[in-house]
């Protein structure tokens, strides 16, 4: 599915998503990827949501976002709240959704100039 066609100064946008990979700035990423205005982090986390640990989100928190959009794969699944408490304790919001929705939401928030990180599990 094509996600975005607009241009912005918000940094890299997610151009397309299909199960197992995303395209960002013409490059395909398989597995996990985290995207923010200034950085693309390939393989930032586990291959499966069940393996997501606080340490994975600690690395995301160090990017100082206002909000993290967590994409959980083909369907929306929720990790144990103890896993993402590291974000909440720092005042960082988190939205959890399927990866396709997370890609679209990231582009909207980034286009608005928000400090957002898309943490995507494919």
Give me the domains of the chain, ranges plus CATH numbers: 14-120 (3.40.1230.10)
Q: Write down how long the chain is.
A: 122
Residue 105 structure tokens: 């939401």
Q: What are 48-104's pLDDT values in tens digits?
A: 999 999 999 999 999 999 999 999 999 999 999 999 999 999 999 999 999 999 999
CA distances from 53 to 12, 45, 57, 61, 92 (A): 26, 9, 7, 13, 17
Q: What are 36-51's pLDDT values in tens digits?
A: 998 999 999 998 999 9
């Amino acid at each position: 599915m094509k996600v975005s066609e607009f241009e912005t100064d918000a940094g890299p946008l997610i151009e397309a998503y299909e199960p197992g990979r995303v395209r960002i700035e013409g490059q395909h990423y398989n597995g996990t990827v985290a995207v923010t205005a200034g950085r693309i982090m390939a393989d930032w986390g586990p291959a499966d949501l069940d393996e997501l640990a606080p340490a994975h989100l600690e690395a995301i928190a160090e990017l100082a976002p206002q909000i993290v959009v967590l994409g959980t794969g083909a369907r929306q699944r929720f990790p144990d709240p103890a896993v993402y408490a590291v974000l909440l304790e720092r005042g960082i919001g988190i939205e959890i959704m399927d990866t396709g929705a997370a890609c679209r939401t990231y582009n909207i928030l980034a286009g608005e100039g928000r400090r957002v990180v898309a943490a995507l599990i494919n």
